[in-house]
Structure 1
Amino acid sequence: MFLKKDSVLKNSFIIQFGDKLLDQCCCLTNKFRIFTLAVLFLDLFLGYLAQHLCVIYGFDLQQVPDVIIYSTEHTVLNLKQILHWLMSNPAGLKLNSVLSKALGNFFLYHIHLWVTYVDLILPAVGQVFTIISPYIQFFPITLQLAILGDVLSMLCIHIFCFYAYARRITQLQYSGCVAYARLFAGKKYNPLRKRIDTADDVSIEHLFLGTILFTILLFLAPTTFTFFTVFWLLRLSSLFALKTISTAIFLIQFEWI
């Protein structure tokens, strides 16, 4: 799996590719399997073929920064349209206008931060592709796909951040609703013993305040859940693209060995 939670480096396609390639080299040293060599040569041939097709169709690696700029502008435009749509009662849903505008402005500000982040990393990415462009035809297709996956991961980082924010807000609201629902039943969560105990010291003031807070969280839940659903779908599409690249690398280089 390309999504691990140990460190940032372990999420890199290139790091994973290098580790598996070293394992294969050790396996070749010990057993020297001809079929493994055939797969590696096929990997190199597909990489050369891919670059040859890029040359035929007039695509140069030095154009990658321009492609990133175009895709960034297109993605930012679509995200802003989605956020403005969410801020104005999407699909006829009567969402809380104050909360939806607050969340929309919050995510719009982070889109601005993401554009600044892309502007900062773009010169470094362009310089890297300028350096490797004369030698990319000698790279195996799996390494080329790994580079593509890492670039796509850098460009999709904002979508994962938006999903994390929306999920956290939704989880907090859900936890609050569950806690106040337990309060009405005379129960409370004991974090020390990690169990549900009986609440004997509940007063009328506690119940009154809990009712107000429960009602507020319950009526705000559809708004946050709508934002969470939209960003969950965006994250799912990004994961699908990254998983497709990861599966292609696995099938080409490692499945038959």
Structure 2
Amino acid sequence: MIKNYTIEYLRLAVDWLMDTPAGLKLNKELDQFLGELFLWLIQIWSIVLAKIFSYTNEIIYSVGIAGILGASISLSLTNDLFSLATLHIHIFYKVASKIYYWQFSILLSLFNLLRGKRRNTLRNRLDSFEYNLDQLLLGTIIFTLLIFLYPTTGVYYILFSLSRLAVICIQVTFDLILVFLNQFPYFPLIIRIFHKEQLPGLNYKYNI
């Protein structure tokens, strides 16, 4: 089940991005490069995951034995195993976000170049600057190339961002259940239900 959601569905999503997703006109060469790169990484991780989950019975047995120490221990181990199984999604998100923000920062710098601006790092502001014709021409060419490549990197960034968000939501659910198990007042509640006479203040009678 975990393999289907973390490997197969992700592979299908990458294949979909490599085949004109939703009619978007992506850069074919960059799309093929990124798609094959992530598919290769998914294939490697599927092999690693298969090695790990070949010990599924032992893992389940260990988690069950750990339950002797409390349900929170078993839940924590389950959360750790889930984090391990989805580690590749975190790595893919980091790679895609680095490429995306790297391209965005270059586009922003080139946009300032076309406006005749340059960032002053000492004063943290944009100052006017006179660029020569060669710099403007080269900046225009690179800016045009990157702006057409931007949607391609953007769709991969969105895919892995949504995948990472889904993983975080599941992990937050585990954490909320864990907090509930650790903080819920079981003992006072049991006393309240079965031995409420032992709670202070309940047997106090007012004399009128």
Q: Give the unaligned 5+ runs of structure 1.
A: 1-69
SS in 2 for 1:196: strand
In the alignment, what sits opposite 1:42? Answer: none
**Are 2:4 and 1:104 equivalent residues in the alignment?**
no
**Are 2:137 and 1:212 equivalent residues in the alignment?**
no
What TM-score comes out, normalization by structure 1 length? 0.66
SS in 1 for 2:26: coil
Number of aligned residue pairs: 186
Q: What amino acid sits opposite 1:248 in the alignment?
A: I
What TM-score comes out, normalization by structure 2 length? 0.80
Question: 1: distance between equivalents of 2:127 and 2:22?
Answer: 42
**Are 2:164 and 1:238 equivalent residues in the alignment?**
no
- Report how far residue 144 of structure 1 moved: 1.4
SS in 2 for 1:232: helix
**Are 2:115 and 1:185 equivalent residues in the alignment?**
yes
Query: Which piece of structure 1 moves more, 138-147 or 158-167?
Result: 138-147
Question: 2: distance between equivalents of 1:247 and 1:171?
Answer: 32
Question: 1: distance between equivalents of 2:184 and 2:103?
Answer: 44
Question: 2: distance between equivalents of 1:140 and 1:98?
Answer: 53
Q: Is the 8 A contact 1:181 1:214 kept in 2?
A: yes
SS in 2 for 1:94: coil
- Report how far residue 161 of structure 1 moved: 1.0
- Report how far residue 120 of structure 1 moved: 4.2
Question: 2: distance between equivalents of 1:173 and 1:90?
Answer: 21
- Report how far residue 113 of structure 1 moved: 2.0
In the alignment, what sits opposite 1:148? Answer: 78
Question: 2: distance between equivalents of 1:197 and 1:113?
Answer: 48
1:116 to 47, 59, 63: 47
Q: Give the unaligned 5+ runs of structure 2.
A: 187-208
The CA deviation string for residues 132-181 of structure 1, in whole angstroms up to 9 with x for no partner, is 54x34423222211111000000111111111111111101111110001
Q: Is the 8 A contact 1:183 1:207 kept in 2?
A: yes
Change (3 A) 1:240 1:105: same
Q: What amino acid sits opposite 1:113 in the alignment?
A: I
Matches within 5 A, 1:1-257: 70-73=1-4, 75-122=6-53, 127-131=58-62, 133=64, 135-200=65-130, 202-254=131-183
Question: 1: distance between equivalents of 2:153 and 2:42?
Answer: 18
* Larger Rg, first or second structure (1 or 2): 2
CA RMSD of aligned residues (A): 2.2
In the alignment, what sits opposite 2:201? Answer: none
SS in 2 for 1:88: coil
In the alignment, what sits opposite 2:191? Answer: none
In the alignment, what sits opposite 2:199? Answer: none
In the alignment, what sits opposite 2:190? Answer: none
Identity of aligned residues (%): 31
